């Protein structure tokens, strides 16, 4: 505790933000698995399950765009606390009697959850920009990779938690337990977070929502296709395939996907070592291009080999895909924080995660529709094509020999 008290105030604040983000992520991952498995058990089709998350992803797009502007004007503490409260309300909406859990009602609850999730993500990712010197890009890469990796490891734990709670407590009791836990986190956050965390010195206007940075725009486009490529087979198609074709129960599906996400998060944390030593410069567009091109081969290979030994090919391919995807995601997470303007960093970060949410929305919808009409192989081929687009877009990302100046005070990334 004495070491914690001796930390700089900004770092203590960031630790609180990170703790909030971790707690939220755990409940968000559990809720995702609860909804997929519970409504699949009720007889919902893959496309109907995908539609349950439609508003979650749509409002994530809107939230990232507007939330970055709000964070710059009002402070990241407020966007963080509003996100926590909205998630508690969303969980509370799922506590109604089973007969009232209609598709529109669940979609509305998921809309609130989507807003909450992206307010939290934007707040946490924006905060780290303010703690690292502008010329220490290598250090920034390590910090971003650690935050992103730990978050996804907890999301994986949330997947396992969701499957376990559904089996042990049932749907409503599991949701109630998570709502109470997150309510306590929100109450602590209300009294602990500093008011002006991340507030911009120059109040951005509403018409400044869209990024004017070429680098941010290219990276956002690459991110959109990268996450659409993941979710087109991971969100709905994969868990339903494991449950129906392989006959896995809730524990097995939730546990396996939890291990996958945890491993994915661990690889993200080690991404700076896997991509090679880049010194104080950090990685650049060449690294993003190389790793995206490598990733594109994996879902295509799974699709080709799937008819031979479905279970072995799918599990092995999924583990390989997760490792390489994790490096791609970690590289992108570093690059956006590096490219973002120091004053009002949440504007650029919010715009980037808006593209991320659009990719998830596209992938989620395609996952349900393609799997229901064409099967898992079609989802994998579309995934490979989207990653190929990510690689092509990455050709436009800056290299060190023409990279942007440090995005510290007095610098922009325009």
* Residue 174 reports pLDDT greater than 90: no
Identify the residue with better confidence: 201 or 40: 40
Residue-level pLDDT at 138: 61
Structure tokens at 211: 């990024």
**pTM of the entire predicted model:** 0.70
Contact 381, 198 (CB under 8 A): no
The residue written with tokens 């956050």 in the block is 189
> Could you tell me the pLDDT band of residue 291, with boundaries at 50, 70 and 90?
very high
How far apart are the C-alpha atoms of 125 and 349, rounded to whole Å? 8
Of 85, 80, 82, 60, the closest CA to residue 123 belongs to: 80
How far apart are the C-alpha atoms of 393 and 391, rounded to whole Å? 5
Contact 294, 242 (CB under 8 A): no
Domain map (residue ranges) of the chain: 2-402
Identify the residue with better confidence: 402 or 176: 176
* Residue 200 reports pLDDT greater than 60: no
Share of the chain above pLDDT 90, in %: 17
* Residue 133 reports pLDDT greater than 70: no
Alpha-carbon distances of 321 from 213, 236, 281, rounded to whole Å: 31, 17, 27
DSSP code for 61: H
Rounded to an integer, the average pLDDT of 286-311 is 92
Residue-level pLDDT at 74: 67
Residue-level pLDDT at 263: 83
Identify the residue with better confidence: 200 or 169: 169
The CATH code that applies to domain 2-402 is 1.20.1250.20
Residue-level pLDDT at 226: 94
In 232-371, at which residue ranges do the beta strands (DSSP E only) sit? Answer: none
Residue-level pLDDT at 407: 39
Rounded to an integer, the average pLDDT of 336-356 is 71
CA 410 to chain centre: 30
Of 192, 138, 213, 264, the closest CA to residue 14 belongs to: 192
Residue-level pLDDT at 320: 92
């Amino acid at each position: 505790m004495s070491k914690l008290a001796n930390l700089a105030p900004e770092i203590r604040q960031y630790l609180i933000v990170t703790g909030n983000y971790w707690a939220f992520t755990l409940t968000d991952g559990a809720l995702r698995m609860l909804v997929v498995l519970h409504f699949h058990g009720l007889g919902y089709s893959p496309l109907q399950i995908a539609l349950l998350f439609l508003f979650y992803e749509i409002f994530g797009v809107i939230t990232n765009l507007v939330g970055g502007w709000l964070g710059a004007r009002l402070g990241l503490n407020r966007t963080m606390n509003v996100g926590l409260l909205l998630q508690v309300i969303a969980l509370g909406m799922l506590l109604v009697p089973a007969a009232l859990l209609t598709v529109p009602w669940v979609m509305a609850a998921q809309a609130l959850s989507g807003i909450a999730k992206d307010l939290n993500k934007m707040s946490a990712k924006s905060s780290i920009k303010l703690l690292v010197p502008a010329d220490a890009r290598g250090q920034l890469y390590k910090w971003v990779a650690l935050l992103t990796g730990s978050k996804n490891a907890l999301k994986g734990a949330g997947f396992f938690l969701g499957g376990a709670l559904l089996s042990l407590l049932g749907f409503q009791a599991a949701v109630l337990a998570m709502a109470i836990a997150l309510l306590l986190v929100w109450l602590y956050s209300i009294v602990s977070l500093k008011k002006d965390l991340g507030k911009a010195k120059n109040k951005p206007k509403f018409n400044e929502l869209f990024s004017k940075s070429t680098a941010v725009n290219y990276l956002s486009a690459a991110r959109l296709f990268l996450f659409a490529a993941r979710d087109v087979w991971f969100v709905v198609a994969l868990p339903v395939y494991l449950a129906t074709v392989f006959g896995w129960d809730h524990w097995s599906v939730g546990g396996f996907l939890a291990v996958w996400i945890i491993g994915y998060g661990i690889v993200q944390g080690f991404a700076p070592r896997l991509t090679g030593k880049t010194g104080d410069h950090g990685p650049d567009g060449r690294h993003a291009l190389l790793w995206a091109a490598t990733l594109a081969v994996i879902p295509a290979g799974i699709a080709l080999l799937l008819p031979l030994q479905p279970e072995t090919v799918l599990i092995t391919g999924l583990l390989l895909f997760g490792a390489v995807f994790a490096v791609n995601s970690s590289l992108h997470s570093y690059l956006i924080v590096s490219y973002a303007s120091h004053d009002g960093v949440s504007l650029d970060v919010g715009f980037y995660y808006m593209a991320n949410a659009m990719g998830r929305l596209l992938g989620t919808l395609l996952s349900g529709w393609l799997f229901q009409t064409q099967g898992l192989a079609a989802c994998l081929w579309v995934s490979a094509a989207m990653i190929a687009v990510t690689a092509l877009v990455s050709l436009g990302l800056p290299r060190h020999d023409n990279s942007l100046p440090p995005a510290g005070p007095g610098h922009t990334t325009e």
